[in-house]
A and B are shown apart, each in its own frame.
Chain A
Amino acid sequence: MKKKLLLPVVLSLIISAQAIAAQGNKENGKIIYDKKCWWCHGEKGAGDGPAAKFLNPPPRDFTAGWYKFKTTPFDEITPADEDIFRMISGGMNHISLWKGMSGTSMPNWDDVLKEQDRWDLVAYIKSLSGLEQPQKPPISYSGQIKSSKESIEKGREIFKKMCVECHGEEGKGDGTKKLKDDLGFRTWPRNLTKPWTFKVNNDPKEIYTRISNGIPGTQMPSFADPSSKKTLSEEERWHVANYVASIADDIKRPKDDTVLKVIRLEGDLPSKIDDPKWAEAQPTSFYFIPQIIAKERFFTPTMDSITARAFYNDKEIAILLEWDDRTKSIPGDEKAKELAEGDVLEDSVAVQFPVIIPEEMEKPYFGMGDSAKPVNIWQWKSGTTSAPETMKLMNANGFQKIEQRDAAKAGLKAIGVYNNGTWRVVMKRPLATEEKDKDVQFAEGKYTPIAFAAWDGSNGESGSKHVMTTWYWLLLKPATPKSTYIIPIIVALLVFGGELLLVRKSKK
């Protein structure tokens, strides 16, 4: 009886919330829009503001009237006002300091705009394409199936049938199709193993919403549409949502600790990429950002992080670099050509060290060194159908002064393997080399600056167009000295002895 009473109450609450939203004041919305939003979304909302040229995905064109992240069903083009309000507010997900839509320049506005202002913006934005209220209510989550081993297993099967063509075998967005959105812009299927890059987030409810409603304007389809070849029952959609939520790989998420610790091994270092020993190394991940600092700049990256692991022994150091790249770019390869933006160039990765490890904090400039302080750059390239992979060694005093050197002579070697959306490259070099004034000399316990860069050859990246990091640290971690364990025991004994003395004294 009570439940029946509750329903109308809830319904009327929803309706009144919508009524408030509908009351959003268009005129005030426009005032805020003209101060804060037009720079990207354009003066008239056509997505053509001055910033638009530097963005992929492009700012939404509000005159087109479609919204990607909505809760209304696939056959209802109009989003709920709450959907737009939520995307403006942000905070569903975040990369480190970014609380807006991940992988885009759309920030969260809840920190600078009052709630009513955000509703006013909803009203104004909707008016740009003449959207009314949706005819259909948001989809229901009442049939939710809790995640379980069985559900995830069922989801895995469905994923294999329905999603891999775009999202790839292991969900890393490395599908076999070149995708464009409705306005002709290149879109990249989400890397589902990196939930922090989701534009909303990887709560199974959200994933279920995306699968059921699709992502309008993009090729991410609705799987609830009975007229499509790709229909999934409600139950199947929950299973696949649970599966997608389960494949998150937190190792790849950069954390606060950014010292790459190189672990000491007795005996040989692993030289194969799939050596199980690598599991004993300590992974550290770093955010990539596109090279937006010096000419020619580059604004449309496809790769967002790199994970490094490393070992050393008394002779050598070996670094395993692992980064997700949706395309294996081998010039001359027909399949690579189908997916590429423009010509297929080689994929590549590089690490950079100062030639002289600084004793003080003064390092070479992070962008390829400076005239006073050179850097070593170790660059691996994927090779073409007619040439094998290569390893280059360069010394640079800034990007205009680069000396090509003989990698083999310095003992520098590398191999790379691509598998299901991930490159793995192992680089190896002796700790010390002959040309001590030209090569970084590694030493145990010494904090050594390190920076990374990578090129996606199917995304037009070469030369100065690439993704990169600034300086982080690499440390050959010394074995913990025995005294670390012995001294605390001695301290405990001393304190205990002191206590005994106290007791004896008090007894006298």
Chain B
Amino acid sequence: MKIPRLLLFVILVALSYFIFKAPGIFLKQPIPSSLIVMYMFFAVVTILLWMTSTEEGMQGLIGPIKRMIEDPGKKTLRNIIFVIVPIVAAGITYMQLRPTYEAPVELRSIHPAPPSTIKVFGKTFNLMTLENPYRKLEKEDPQKFAQLVKEGGEVYFKNCFYCHGDKLDGRGHYAHGFNPLPANFTDIGTIAQLQESFLFWRISTGGPGLPKEGAPWISAMPVWENFITEDEVWKVILFLYNYTGYVPRSWAK
């Protein structure tokens, strides 16, 4: 069966609109409406160009409209449509002009590039070469390693769980008060992508230690250098990987 061209046009336009709206509906990350208007403009132009690229396509699109205007038998239908179209046009214009006062969109980099060295715990660390001193015990002394993981868990459940969650899913019982939300360690987009030295940097210097593109003024991640020891930072990192089952990215990869 061949779909009438005019109907096809309407379906394609509606489909593009839905695609642009989908991130907002399903992921709660809406595309700003000004961007949607722009995207829709390009989508409609592209669809029109494509559909009118042949004479036949052109006719298929314009034919029904022409017939409706010219055929005296369709006069009532024509009048109805002629009233509806200006009203819809006015409505769309009003929706566009109407001020909405949504919160401004702020783009930030979630994993900004780390500095090459950091100064914490009264020492300077070279992040390019820094490694978790306990990582090697995983193979060399599994029993000792398990003990360290457990100690790291205690650090986590004294300091981190109320933001990053009892399930490490970034949904602690105070997470709803923060924007950006605390990182979700079970998501493949966070620690699974990162090196332990990156975590060491993020944990010891917290939100205020972020570079400008990380928007340090809004990240609620505390400066853990002020609360826990260097040793505890390494242990809590062991725990994060152990609990989620991810492996840290290494220099080799």
Binding site for B on A (CB under 8 A): 36, 39-40, 49-51, 53-54, 95-98, 100, 104-105, 107, 109, 111-112, 257-259, 261, 287-290, 292-295, 299, 361-366, 370, 373, 447, 469-473, 475, 477-478, 480, 483-485, 487-489, 491-493, 495-496, 499, 502-503, 506
Contacts and interface: CB of A to CB of B under 8 A. Distances in A.
A95 B208 CA distance: 28
A362 B212 CA distance: 8
Contacts, number: 152
A491 B90 contact: yes
A107 B171 contact: yes
Nearest to B104: A447
B173 A493 contact: no
Nearest to A52: B157
B176 A488 contact: no
Interface in B31-72: 66, 69-70
A475 B103 CA distance: 9
Contact of A365 (B82, B91, B172, B217): B217
13 contacts: A97-B176, A98-B176, A112-B167, A258-B103, A289-B174, A292-B163, A299-B162, A366-B217, A473-B104, A475-B101, A485-B94, A495-B89, A506-B66
Contacts of A287: 176-177
B131 interface: no
Given A98-B173, A112-B167, 8 more contacts: A107-B171, A111-B169, A365-B217, A470-B177, A470-B220, A484-B97, A492-B86, A506-B70
Contacts of B69: 502-503, 506
Given A105-B161, A107-B165, A362 B222 contact: no
B166 A105 contact: yes
B171 A491 contact: no
A503 B68 CA distance: 10
Nearest to A503: B69
Given A40-B166, A288-B177, A492-B90, A470 B99 contact: no
Contact of A473 (B91, B98, B103): B103
Interface string B64-90: 001001100000000000100111011
Nearest to A293: B222
Contact of A259 (B66, B101, B158): B101
A99 B223 CA distance: 28
A473 B66 CA distance: 52
B232 interface: no
B7 interface: no
Contacts of B93: 487-488, 491
B218 interface: yes
B153 A39 contact: yes
A483 B98 CA distance: 10
Given A287-B176, A484-B99, A492 B217 contact: no
B102 A363 contact: no
Given A287-B176, A362-B212, A477-B101, A105 B217 contact: no
A50 B173 contact: no
B70 A361 contact: no
Contacts of B91: 488
A493 to B, nearest CB: 7
B118 interface: no
Interface of B: 66, 69-70, 82, 85-87, 89-91, 93-94, 97-99, 101-104, 106, 108, 153-154, 156-158, 161-163, 165-167, 169, 171-179, 181, 207-208, 212, 215-218, 220, 222-223, 226-227
A105 B173 contact: yes
Contacts of A489: 90
Residue with the greatest number of chain A CB neighbours at <10 A, chosen from B154, B167, B207, B227: B167
A496 B102 CA distance: 33
A293 to B, nearest CB: 5
A49 B157 contact: yes
Contact of A491 (B89, B167, B173): B89
Nearest to B158: A50
Closest CB pairs A-B (n = 8):
A289-B177, A492-B90, A96-B176, A488-B90, A39-B157, A492-B86, A51-B157, A488-B94
Given A39-B153, A365-B208, A496-B82, A290 B174 contact: yes
A489 to B, nearest CB: 6
A317 B2 CA distance: 63
Given A447-B104, A484-B97, A496-B86, A470 B218 contact: yes
Contacts of A97: 171, 175-176, 181
A399 B175 CA distance: 23
B161 A364 contact: no
A202 to B, nearest CB: 19
Contacts of A363: 217-218
A498 B90 CA distance: 14
Contact of B162 (A50, A292, A477): A292
Contacts of A502: 69
Nearest to A256: B28
Contacts of B158: 50-51, 53-54
A491 B175 CA distance: 47
Contacts of A361: 104, 106, 108, 215
Contact of B178 (A95, A111, A289, A485): A289
A488 B86 CA distance: 9
B167 A107 contact: yes
A491 B91 CA distance: 9
Contacts of B98: 480, 484
Given A54-B162, A365-B208, A95 B90 contact: no
A109 B218 CA distance: 30
A294 B222 contact: yes
Nearest to B221: A293
A51 B82 contact: no
A49 B253 CA distance: 38
A78 to B, nearest CB: 26
Contacts of A257: 102-103
Nearest to B82: A499
Contacts of B161: 39, 51, 105
Contacts of B166: 36, 39-40, 105, 107
B215 A495 contact: no
Contacts of B220: 293, 366, 470
A221 B76 CA distance: 71
A361 B101 CA distance: 16
A470 B226 contact: no
A493 B162 contact: no
A361 B162 CA distance: 28
A251 B239 CA distance: 41
A296 to B, nearest CB: 11
Contacts of B89: 488, 491-492, 495
Contacts of B212: 362
A45 to B, nearest CB: 16
B45 to A, nearest CB: 19
